[in-house]
Structure 1
Amino acid sequence: MILNYIWIGFILIAFVVACIQFFVSGNTNIFMDVMQSAFGSAKTGFEISIGLTGMLSLWLGILKIGERGGAINIISRMVAPFFSKIFPDIPKGHPAMGSIFMNLSANMLGLDNAATPLGLKAMRELQEINPDKEKASNPMIMFLVLNTAGLMLVPVSILTFRQQLGAANPADVFLPILIATFCAALTGLITVSVIQKINLLNRVVLLTLGGMITLIGTLIYVLSRLPKADISKYSNFTAYFILFSIIIIFISIALRSKTNVYESFIDGAKEGFQVAIGIVPYLIGILVAIAMFRASGAMDYLILGIKYLVSLTGVNTDFVEALPTALMKPLSGSGARGMMVDAMKIHGADSFVGRLSCIIQGSADTTFFILAVYFGSVNIKNTRYALACGLLADFAGITAAILLGYLFFH
C-alpha cells in the first residue's frame, strides 16, 4: 500500500533533517523536539478517537433510526438516478447510497463532526458488497476521492476564525472558496470516472452537475444580497437548521412506520463505539508521522526550497507565505487549520496571505487522514489509485485557490 511508503518516508526524512539540524546547526534539542511532538500527536490521536466516539455513537444511532424507519431507503431512491451513474457497482436500492449522500451533504454544509461518522457508516456498507475485502472497490475510491475534494458550500469554521481574528469582512473569502472547492470536486469526479470508464456525458449526470452549478450560483447571489456582517451568521443558522431537520424527519418517518426509535438509536450507538476503537491505530499512525516531519524542520526547508525555485522564474512569490497551509492540508486538518490561524495572526486577517490561507484551507480536504481512517475502519490494505486521485483533486483545488487569491485580493 502506498501509504506504507509515505509513512516510512515521513519518518526517515524527519530523521535525516533532524541530523542536519544537529550536526550543521548545532541544535541539540531537535531530537527531543521531534520525539515530544510524536508523543504529543499519539496522545492527540487517541483523544480525537475518544472524542469521535461520542459523535459516532450519536450519528450512527440517528442513521440506524433512518435505516429501520425507511428514511435511508427514501434518500437512496431519490439519489439513485445520479449515483447509479457514478457508482455503477452499488446494487440498486442499497443503503450505501443514502449514507454516501448524507456524508457528502454534511461535508457541503461544513459540518465536519457530522460528516465523519456518516462517512464511516458508508464505508462499512460499501465493504459489505466488496468482493475483495482487503482491496479498495471502485465505489469506495469514487466516494473517498469526492470526500478528499471536500466540496463545501458553507465554510462555517473558516468564517468563524476570520471573525474572531478581526477581519473587517469575514465572508469576503466565501466566493473564492466555493469556486476552488468545486474545481477540486469536479477534478476528482472526472479523474476517477476516466479510470473506471464511467460515462459522464449522459443526460442524468449533466443535468445533476448543471443543477449543482445553479445551486451554487443561487447561493452566491442570495448571500451577496445579505449585509456582509450577516453572512457568517446566516450560514451557521442554515447549516445547523438543516442538520436538526434531518434528525426530526428521520424520527418522524420511523414513528410513522411504527419503528422502536429509542431501541434503534441504542443499537446504532453501540456500533459507533466499535468503529471508534477500530480507527485508533490508523489515526495515531498518520498523525505521529506528520508531526515528526513537521517538528524536524522538514516542512520549513520545503517551503524555503519552493520559494527559492519560484523566485528563479521571476514569478511573484507573495503566495509562498501561505504554502504551509497548502502543504499541510492533505496531511492534517488540524495542522492546516493551525497554519491558517498563524498566517492570519502574523500577516493580518485581511492581508493577502491571511485571506489566501483561508481560501486554501477551504479548497480541499485532508487526503491522508481520510484515506487512513476510512480505509482503516474496514481493514482495506490495497488502496489502489485512491491516493493519487485524491492528491490530484487537492492539487486542483489548491491551485485554483492560489489563482483566485491573486484575482480577488492581490
Structure 2
Amino acid sequence: MIVGKADDPGNPLHIDGVIETCWTAVNICLKLIGIMALFMGFMSIAERAGGIRLLSRIIAPFFSKLFPDVPKGHPATGHMVMNFSANLLGLDNAATPFGLKAMESLQELNPTKDRASNAQIMFLCLHASGLTLIPVSIIAIRASLNAANPTEIFIPCMIATFVATIAAMLIVSFKQKINVFAPAILIWVLGLSSVIALLVLYLTSLSTAGLQSFSGILSNGLLLLIFFLIVLGAVYKKIDVFDAFVEGAKGGFETAIRIIPYLVGMLIAISLLRTSGTFDVIINGMKQVCMFFQVDSRFIDGIPTALIRPLSGGGARGMMIDTMTTHGPDSFAGRLSSILQGSSDTTFYVIAVYFGAVNVKDTRYAIGAMLLADLVGVITAISLAYLFFG
C-alpha cells in the first residue's frame, strides 16, 4: 500500500489527497440531504396543490417551442422554471433540488432510460450556463480583500452569463433542429433581455451596501414568498401539508444518497488533474504562445479560474481568491478571475450529479455543448474585462 502526504512533492499519486476527495464528495452529499429534503418537501406540497401545473401552463408557450418533447402542462416544465429562477437569484441551495426534480420529471418522458433525451440535454445546457443576476458571493469576497469597488464586476458577470445562456440555447437548438426564430421564443428572449437591461440601470445607481441589501431582500424574500404561497395554496386545496412534505422529503433523501458514487468518481478525476500539474503546463504553454505572437498576455493570469471552474466550484473559488491575493483584487487578473468565476457553472459536476441522479449513462453531446457554451462565456468575459478595465 502506498502512503504519502497530499503536499509531498515526491508522491506523484497524492494518495491522501484522493482519499480526502472521497470524504469531500460524501460530505457534500450529506450536507445536500437536508437541503434536498426541505425543497423537495415543498415541491411535493406544490405538486399536490396544483401549483407546479399552474406554473407550467404560464410558461408553456415558450417551453413548448424550446422543449417540443415535453407535453404542455407537464410538471417538468414547472420544475425547470423553479430551477432557472433559483439560479437567476443566486440561490444555489435551492437550484440543485429543483434541478434534480426537473431531471426526474424529464426522465419519466425519456423513452430510453440510460440515454439522455433531447429535453434533458437542453435543460442541463441552459442550467450549466449559469445565468445569474447578482454574484453576491464574489462581491463579498472582493469586499473582504479590500477592493476599491467590489461591485464593479457584476455588470460584466451578468452580461457574460446571459451571452453564455443564449449561446447554449442556440447550440442545442441547432443540434435538435429547433426554430429559435419562432415568435414565442423571440418574445421571451427579448422580454428577459429588457428586464435585465432595466435591472442593470437600477443596480448601477446603488452603493455596495445597497446592492448587497437589495440582493438579500430579493433572493431571500422571494424564497420565503414562494414557501408561503405553496402552503397557502395547499390549505386552500385542503391538502395534508405535513404528509405531502414528508413524502417529498423522503425522495430528497434517496436522491442525495444515489448521487454519491457519481460524485466521488468525478471529484477524484478532478483531484488527479489538479495535483498532476496539468493546469500549470497549460498556463505556461499559453504564455509562451502569447509571447511568440507578441499578444497581450495579461488575461492568462486569470485563466486558471476558467480552467478549474467547469470541474470544481470550490476549486475555482479558491483559484479566484489566490489570483486576487497574488495580483491584487483591483488588478486586471483579479477582476478577470472574478468575472470568470461568476460567468459559468461547474459543467462536469452538473453532468455527474444530474445525469447520475436518473442513472443516465449515455450523455450524447451534452458535455460538448456545455463546454462550447462555456468557451463562449469565457471569451465574452475576457472581452468585457478589456472593455471595462482594459
Give the match for residue 54 of structure 1. Answer: 34
SS at match of 1:31: coil
- 2:247 matched to 1:267? yes
**Alignment partner of 2:11: what SS?**
helix
Matches within 5 A, 1:49-198: 49-198=29-178
The equivalent position to 2:185 in structure 1, one of 205, 227, 231, is: 205
Does the residue aligned with 1:55 lie in a helix, a strand or coil?
Answer: helix
Which letter maps to 1:336?
A
1:255 is aligned, of 235, 255, 261, to: 235
CA 1:97/1:349 → structure 2, altered by over 3 Å: closer, same or farther? same
**Separation in structure 1 between the aligned mates of residue 8 and residue 362 of structure 2, nearest angstrom:** 40
Output the aligned Cα RMSD.
1.2
In the alignment, structure 1 residue 236 sits paired with structure 2 residue 224: no
What is the CA–CA distance in structure 2 between the aligned matches of 1:299 and 1:195, rounded to whole Å? 31
CA distance, structure 1, for counterparts of residue 296 and residue 117 of structure 2 = 43
Contact 1:45 1:287 in 2 (8 A): yes
- Corresponding position of 2:351: 371
- Offset from partner CA, 1:283-322 (integer Å, 9 cap, x none): 1111111111111211111111111112212110011111
TM-superposed CA distance for 1:236, in Å, is: 2.1
Counterpart CA distance in 2 for 1:323 and 1:90 is 38
3-state secondary structure, aligned to 2:85: helix
Give the C-alpha shift of residue 156 in structure 1: 1.7
Runs of 4+ displaced beyond 2 Å: 27-34
Deviation per CA, 1:366-389: give whole Å up to 9, x if none.
111101110000000110000000
8 Å CA contact retained: 1:75, 1:98: yes
* Mapped pair 1:38 → 2:44: no
Structure 2 residue corresponding to 1:380, chosen from 345, 357, 360: 360
- Number of paired residues? 384
| Distance of 2:146 and 2:209 partners within structure 1 | 12
Corresponding residue of 1:393 = 373
Q: Tell me, in whole angstroms, the C-alpha distance in 2 between the residues paired with 1:111 and 1:166.
A: 25
* TM-superposed deviation, 1:32: 5.8
Counterpart Cα distance in 1 of 2:240 and 2:125: 36
Structure 2 Cα separation of the partners of residues 232 and 169 of structure 1: 13
The answer to whether structure 1 residue 361 and structure 2 residue 309 are counterparts is no
One of 16, 29, 37 as aligned partner of 2:9 = 29
Percent identity between the aligned chains? Answer: 48
SS at match of 1:168: coil
Q: What does residue 278 of structure 2 align with?
A: 298
Cα deviations by residue, 1:105-124 (Å, 9 ceiling, x for unpaired):
11111111110111001001
1:338 corresponds to:
318
What amino acid does structure 2 have at the position aligned with 1:325?
A: T
Aligned amino acid, residue 194 of structure 2:
T
Following superposition, the deviation at residue 28 of structure 1 comes to 7.0
Native 8 Å contact 1:325 1:361 kept in 2: yes
Distance 2:274 2:10 in 1: 12
Check whether the contact 1:318–1:353 (CA below 8 A) recurs between aligned residues. Answer: yes
Partner of 1:22: none
Q: Take 1:92 and 1:99, find their aligned partners in 2: how far apart are those partners?
A: 13
Structure 2: which amino acid aligns with 1:119? G
TM-score after normalising by structure 1: 0.92
Separation of aligned partners in 2, 1:180 and 1:392: 14
Taking a change above 3 Å as real, the CA distance of residues 30 and 238 of structure 1, as seen in their structure-2 partners, is farther
Indicate conservation of the 8 Å contact 1:49/1:276, yes or no. Answer: yes
Question: Is the Cα–Cα contact under 8 Å of residues 12 and 276 in structure 2 kept in the other structure?
Answer: no
Deviations 1:146-168 (A, max 9, x none): 01111111212111211222122
**1:169–1:229 contact (8 Å) kept in structure 2:** no
Deviations 1:215-257 (A, max 9, x none): 1001101111222442122112211111111111111111111
Name stretches of at least 5 consecutive residues in structure 2 with no aligned partner.
1-6
Residue number in structure 2 paired with 1:222: 202
CA gap 1:33/1:163 in 2 versus in 1, 3 angstroms: farther
Greater relative CO (CA pairs within 8 A, separation 6+): 1
